[in-house]
């Protein structure tokens, strides 16, 4: 397991230690948990973007028509 050195404000670190103690954990465990969730969320975002790109690629229109803001918001009568 790798070690990581962080530079933190003394007051922030003290508050983190106190909070971790109340929650019966450690600052190390809190940082590890945060980074695990951060990486997981980032991976899910990237997977969602990849899925959207794949969907857009499969559904490319062969039409030469270009949409404008006005044409997309036209109201049809009748």
More confident residue, 61 or 16: 16
- 1 vs 6, 19, 23, 45, 55, CA distance in Å? 16, 25, 24, 27, 39
- Tens digit of pLDDT for each residue in 6-45? 999 999 999 999 999 999 999 999 999 999 999 888 888 8
Within 10 A of 12 (CB to CB), how many other CB atoms are there?
9
Q: Are 27 and 13 in contact (CB under 8 A)?
A: yes
- Cα dist. 57→46, 50, 61, 66, 68 in Å? 16, 10, 9, 17, 21
């Amino acid at each position: 397991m790798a070690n990581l050195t962080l530079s933190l404000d003394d007051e922030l670190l003290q508050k983190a230690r106190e909070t971790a103690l109340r929650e019966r954990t450690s600052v190390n465990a809190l940082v590890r948990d945060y980074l695990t969730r951060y990486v997981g969320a980032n991976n899910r975002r990237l997977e969602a973007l990849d899925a959207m790109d794949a969907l857009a690629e499969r559904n490319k229109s062969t039409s030469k028509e270009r949409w404008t803001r006005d044409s997309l918001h036209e109201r049809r009568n009748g």
